[in-house]
Amino acid sequence: MNLARFIFNSRGISNLLHRFWSLFCRFGFTPARMEKQLQKMTDICKAHDILPTFPATACILRRYPKPITRLQAQGVEFAVHGLVHTDYTQLPFEKQREHFEQAIEIFEKAGIRMCGFRSPYLRSNNDTHLAVSDCNFVWASNFVIHWPVVEQGEFPPQAWEAYQKVLELYSSQSATQYRVIPHLLDGHVEIPVSVPDDEACVDRLELKRDKRRIGRIWQSILEQSHARGEIFTVQLHHERLPFCDEALDYVLTIADQLSPPVFKGQLATIANWWKQRRSSIFHLEVARDSYTLELKTPKEATILCRGMEGSKDHLFFANYTLTSKRVFSGRGILPGVALSSQCHPSWRDFLQEEGFLTLDPMHCARAAYVVEEPNMLTEEGAFNVLQAIDSADTPMVRLWRWPQGCRSALCVSGDIDCMTLQDFLWRIWEV
């Protein structure tokens, strides 16, 4: 690929010149400065009982194994960030898989554990997803969601244009139309990244001199994700930590105070829980006018119910309350969602992923809610149907998204693709 053209198209001439100058200001000729920032970021997270996930390019690991090994010893999770820092959407499936396999080999030889993948520039395509699954990664984190927390009138025109360019680069989707939760994709768990991230705030929206504003932006994302029961994956590169350290500490402090609590973990923790949760079983026995429903779930699972006996007094999410029950019995309405005979089969997986008892068309007359969508599932359609189900007042049992009675989730991540000025120059030949 033509790296210069790619960078120019994704930044524009003004932002590109600013980027070149920022490299000289932030990086040195040795990795010492960046090692210090990685440790500081880890320490900030530790103070809030969470450890970060650092995807790293294999070529960087090969050059600087010692600092990465030291961080791993402290519990930091590492993941593959490509063999080199390139746009993998420009490579065919076979080449992508070859790069990923070579990267895995470098990680294994260095003794660095990893089970996840994040693409450089957060850019991926269907071939990337297939290559990730072929390489047996547990998780990937390439899908980008931007939250409605900044407005055009708040920023200079050139800053807003630069922000729009990064959204285009990431192929970002709006949180107003998408559920910001993990999804099973070709065998691995895809965990979305939230924007505005550090690059958007510091280099695009020009907020590097306003740490408090960055903190408020991230607080807004956290509060919206908590209200919706979704996940906020913070993206913060170590090179921008001097501009975002206070914002990171601030948003983690807010997360510590939220109720119901926030499930904090590394990306591998999130992925493993999502897979474990999907192994849950709903066992329903239906008689003429009664039923018995048993949930077989991991012990950490959070169970919600609506209009049922055995729930706690306070609302947990929407009209749902927490319950410790795993067996429900009653008469009349079945506490699940039925698919009509005309409904497209793709909706079944969506309902199961969202933790609902999914009923066949024969139970439509007694179901708490009926989905009658004849067309294939779309994310916008799923978003709207989910809102309708959650706002209804009929009896319902739901296996919640997050464990341990937590309402939402939070991860901290940051890509390691450069440690020195020389690393940027080497990219020209590596790609």
For residue 87, give the amino acid letter. Answer: D
The answer to the question of residue 296 being in a domain is no
The answer to the question of residue 354 being in a domain is yes
163, 40: one domain: yes
State both tokens at 113: 């554990």
190, 327: one domain: no
323, 242: one domain: no
147, 91: one domain: yes
257, 341: one domain: no
The answer to the question of residue 289 being in a domain is no
The answer to the question of residue 263 being in a domain is yes
* Cβ proximity of 93 and 130 under 8 Å: yes
Q: Is the bond preceding residue 65 a cis peptide, omega within 30 degrees?
A: no
30, 124: one domain: yes
Range of the domain at 176: 3-272+409-430
For residue 405, give the amino acid letter. Answer: G
Dmax (CA) of the chain: 76
Cα–Cα distance, 158 to 278 (Å, whole number): 45
91, 128: one domain: yes
Cβ contacts of residue 2 below 8 Å, gap of 6+? none
82, 101: one domain: yes
Strand duo 281-286 + 290-296: pairing: antiparallel
58, 153: one domain: yes
The answer to the question of residue 353 being in a domain is yes
Q: What angle do CA 299, 301, 303 make, to 5 degrees?
A: 120
41, 113: one domain: yes
The answer to the question of residue 32 being in a domain is yes
The answer to the question of residue 290 being in a domain is no
* Positive or negative torsion for Cα 385, 391, 393, 399: positive
The answer to the question of residue 73 being in a domain is yes
Q: Give the chain's domain count.
A: 2
Ramachandran quadrant class, 222 (left: phi over 0; alpha: psi -120 to 50; beta: rest): alpha
Nearest to 308 by CA among 321, 291, 296: 321
325, 372: one domain: yes
* CATH number of 169's domain: 3.20.20.370
316, 242: one domain: no
Helix (H) or strand (E) holding 23: helix 13-26
Per-residue pLDDT of the chain (431 residues; tens, 9 = 90+): 444 555 545 555 555 556 565 766 677 789 999 999 999 999 999 999 999 999 999 999 999 999 999 999 999 999 999 999 999 999 999 999 999 999 999 999 999 999 999 999 999 999 999 999 999 999 999 999 999 999 999 999 999 999 999 999 999 999 999 999 999 998 899 999 999 999 999 999 999 999 999 999 999 999 999 999 999 999 999 999 999 999 999 999 999 999 999 999 999 999 999 999 999 999 999 998 899 999 999 999 999 999 986 555 678 999 999 999 999 999 999 999 999 999 999 999 999 999 999 999 999 999 999 999 999 999 999 999 999 999 999 999 999 999 999 999 999 999 999 999 888 888 777 76
